[in-house]
Amino acid sequence: MQDETVSTDHSAEPTRRDFLYLTTGVAAAVGAAAVAWPFIDQMQPDASTLALSTVEVDVSSLEPGMSLTVKWRGKPVFIRNRTEQEIEAAKQVPLSDLKDPEARNENLPASAPATDVDRSAGEGKENWLVMIGVCTHLGCIPLGQSGEFGGWFCPCHGSHYDTAGRIRKGPAPENMAIPLFEFTSDTVVRIG
C-alpha cells in the first residue's frame, strides 16, 4: 500500500499527487493549490498505481462549515466538517422519507441503514462526512451546499442530496458512496 499526504503547505514543491482544493470559504487561502489542479491532474500515476494507493489528508484547517476535495483513485472525495445545523437537519429526517434507505458506507455492513450517524465518520465524529463526490445517476460531480436540502446538487439532471449526502430528489438512485476511511489521528484521515 502506498500512503501519501496532502498538505496545505504552500512552501513545499507540489508533487504529482498533491491533489487538493478547498471549496467555499477557504478558496482564497489556497488559490495556488486550486490553480495547480488541472496541471497536476495530467500527471497522474498510471491506473495500477492508483488502484493500490491510499491518501492521507490533514483536515486540521477545516473549521465547521468548510470542505475540501481530494482526488483518490481518480475520483473526487468530499471531506466536510459539518455544522451542528447540518447534522441536526440530517438527523431529523425519518428513514421512511429517504429514497435510498441504505448507508452505502464501506466501513459498515451492507445492511446498515442510512441514518445520519452511519453516513458520518461515526459516534463522536459525526461532524465529519467523507464521501465519493460522484452523482449516482450518471457520474457528474455535484455542487456543495446547494440544492433543496442544503447538501449537494447535481446540475446535470437535477439530483438533490441532503447534508448527509443522501439522495432526496431527482433521478439519482443511491446515496453518494462512503469509501473505506479511518481517522489515524484527530486531524488526519486516511482514505482507502
Q: Kindly list the residues in this chain that would bind ligand FES in the complex (CB under 6 A).
A: 135, 137-140, 154, 156-159, 170-172
Provide the minimum distance between the beta carbon of 134 and ligand FES in the complex, in angstroms, as a whole number.
9
Strand bridging mode 5-6 / 181-183: unpaired
Pick between residue 34 and residue 156 the one whose CB is nearest to ligand FES: 156
Pick between residue 121 and residue 172 the one whose CB is nearest to ligand FES: 172
In this structure, what are the phi and psi dihedrals at residue 97, rounded to the nearest 5 degrees? Answer: -85, -10
CB 101 within 8 A of CB 94: no
Candidate list 10, 137, 157, 160, residue with the active-site label: 157
Pick between residue 154 and residue 189 the one whose CB is nearest to ligand FES: 154
Q: What share of the chain is helix, strand, coil (3-state, %, to 5)?
A: 20, 30, 55
User: In angstroms, rounded to a whole number, what is the distance separating the alpha carbons of residues 101 and 107?
Assistant: 16
Is 10 marked active-site? no
Provide the minimum distance between the beta carbon of 4 and ligand FES in the complex, in angstroms, as a whole number.
29
Residues marked active site are found at: 157
